[in-house]
A and B are shown apart, each in its own frame.
Chain A
């Protein structure tokens, strides 16, 4: 069965610090998909990135970057020069092939960025 572990329950940083959110996943499938979502206090899950298991290329989008390593089953998310608006709960999720895009979520990491 698939599983996603986000070991960091809560992280507090000061504005402009870099922060990395860890995500470790378990799956027996060779084809799978990984996602990151952001949940601000309003509650809506906001999609950030999608990666399939065949694409290990790291991605950078503005202050956000993602490091996907199949060898360690990890898909870590780094925010560079954090801002107060980055404060939210971040979820890593896994979807397996044949699962109709059903997501298995980690428990989430609450990020608090203070000014």
Chain B
């Protein structure tokens, strides 16, 4: 089975711009979660989608949004980029049928905001 894929792998943007990141889960997985990783804050949960609905959300401003499509692929969008949004954005997928499922991560998208 193919793993979780994320595109693009690297991005450079300037402050004020917006960005869209894409994630394709493992085949058969219906839950997609997004995490932000920075040197200062570590790994932080952004949101989780299941069946095109956001089920859970972390403590991030409204500039961070996401969506999920009927094929379980997910996108996250960050509007009005700030320097502090520079991070590795990781997507993870799981079956989505219960608690405590193992989440499998993609290679991440490295975003640099100048």
Which A residues lie at the B interface, using CB under 8 A?
Answer: 31-33, 35, 37, 42-47, 50, 52, 91, 95-108
Contact = CB atoms under 8 A, between A and B. Distances in A.
Interface residues of B, number: 29
Interface string B53-65: 0011010000000
A103 B31 CA distance: 13
Contact of A97 (B33, B42, B94, B100): B100
B114 to A, nearest CB: 20
Tell me the dominant secondary structure on chain B's binding face.
strand
Interface of B: 31, 33, 35, 42-45, 48, 50, 55-56, 58, 88, 90, 92, 94, 96, 98-108, 110
A7 B104 CA distance: 25
Given A100-B56, A101-B33, A91 B43 contact: yes
A102 B42 contact: no
A106 B4 CA distance: 23
